[in-house]
A and B are shown apart, each in its own frame.
Chain A
Amino acid sequence: MSYLNALYAPSGSLAREYHRLTLQRLYWLIVLATVLIATVLFNVASGPANLSAAKILTSLVDPLVLSKNESLIIWQIRLPYALMSVIVGACLGLAGAELQTVLNNPLASPSTLGIMYAATLGASLAIVFNLVPFGIPENYAVPVFAFVGAISAVLAIQYVSKQFGAGLDTVILFGIAMVFALQALISLIQFVADSNSLQQIVFWTMGSLARATWEKVAIVTAIFGLCLPFSIRHMWKMTALRGGEDYAKSFGISVERMRLGVLFRISILSAAAVAFCGVIGFVGLVGPHIARLAFGEDHRFYLPGAALAGGFILAGASVLSKSIIPGILIPDGIVTALIGIPLFLGLLIKQKRKGA
Chain B
Amino acid sequence: MGGLKTGRPFPAFKIMIKIFLSLLTALCLFSATLHAKETITLKDLAGRDVTISVPVDHLILGEGRFLATLGILDRDNPAKRVVGMMGEFEKLDPAGFAEYVRHYPQIADIPKIGGNGEATFSAEKAFSVKPDVALFGMGSGHGPNDKSATVIKQLEAAGIPVVVLDFRMEPLENTPKSIEILGTLLGKEQQAAQFLSFYRTHLNNIQQRLEGVEKRPSVFIEAHAGMLPQCCRAFGRKMMGRFIEWAGGTNAFGNMIPGAVAQVNMEQLLTTQPDVYIATAVGSQMNMENAPGLIALGAGTGEEAAQKTFEQALKRDVISRLSAVQNGNAHSIWHHFYNTPMNVVAVEAMAKWLHPILFEDLDPNETLKTYFDHFQAVPLNGVYWISQKPKGQI
- CB atoms of A142 and B229 under 8 A apart: yes
In the bound complex, do residue B257 and residue A69 qualify as a contact, i.e. CB atoms below 8 Å apart? no
- Minimum CB–CB distance from B264 to chain A (whole Å) comes to 6
Bound CA span A48–B266, Å: 10
Residues of B within 8 A of A50 (CB): 271
Query: A187-231 interface mask toward B, CB cutoff 8 Å, 1 = contact, 0 = none?
Result: 000010011101110010000101100000000000000000000
A328 contacts partner chain B, Cβ-Cβ < 8 Å: yes
Most buried by A among B94, B229, B264, B282: B229
Instruction: Write out the residue numbers on chain B whose beta carbons fall within 8 Å of the beta carbon of A327.
Output: 253, 256, 264-265, 268, 272
The answer to whether residues A49 and B88 also contact, given A130-B290, A328-B263 and a CB cut-off of 8 A, is: no
Binary contact track A94-114/B, C-beta < 8 Å → 1, others 0: 000000000000000000000
Binds B, one of A24-32, A72-80, A156-164: A72-80
User: Can you name the residue of chain A whose Cβ is closest to the Cβ of B120?
Assistant: A191
Verify A329–B270 contact, CB threshold 8 A.
no
Q: Are A203 and B256 in contact (CB under 8 A)?
A: no
Contact with A along B256-277 (1 / 0, CB 8 A): 1110001111111011100000
A77-B267, A210-B230, A327-B264 known; A72-B294 Cβ under 8 A:
no
B116-153 Cβ-contact flags toward A at 8 Å (1 or 0): 10001000000000000000000000100000000000
Q: How far apart are the CA atoms of A54 and B343 in the complex, in Å?
A: 49
Chain A contacts of B267 at CB under 8 A?
47-49, 73, 77-78
Q: Given the interface contacts A327-B256, A328-B257, A331-B263, does A199 sit within 8 Å of B224 by beta carbon?
A: yes
A216 to B291, CA, bound (A): 23
Q: Interface digits, A308-336 against B, CB 8 Å rule (1 contact, 0 not)?
A: 00000000000000100111111100000
Q: How many residues from B make CB contacts under 8 Å with A?
A: 33
Beyond A49-B271, A195-B92, whether A77 also contacts B266 by CB under 8 A is: yes
**In whole angstroms, what is the CA distance A208 to B142 when docked?**
25
Cβ of B345 to closest chain A Cβ, rounded Å: 23
Within 8 A of B (CB), among A115-155: 130, 139, 142
Q: Which range contains the number of A residues in contact with the other chain?
A: 20 to 34
Cβ A139 vs Cβ B264 within 8 A? no
Per the bound structure, the CA–CA distance linking A73 and B229 in Å amounts to 19
Interface membership of B321, Cβ < 8 A = yes
Q: Does B215 contact A (CB under 8 A)?
A: no
A198 to B321, CA, bound (A): 29
Complex alpha-carbon distance, A68 and B8, angstroms: 110
B interface with A by C-beta (< 8 Å):
88, 91-92, 94, 115-116, 120, 142, 224, 227-231, 253, 256-258, 262-268, 270-272, 282, 290-291, 294, 321
28 CB-based A-B contacts, threshold 8 Å: A47-B265, A72-B270, A73-B267, A78-B267, A130-B290, A130-B291, A191-B120, A194-B91, A194-B94, A195-B116, A195-B142, A196-B291, A196-B294, A200-B228, A208-B230, A210-B263, A325-B257, A327-B253, A327-B265, A328-B253, A328-B257, A328-B262, A328-B264, A328-B265, A328-B268, A329-B262, A329-B264, A330-B263
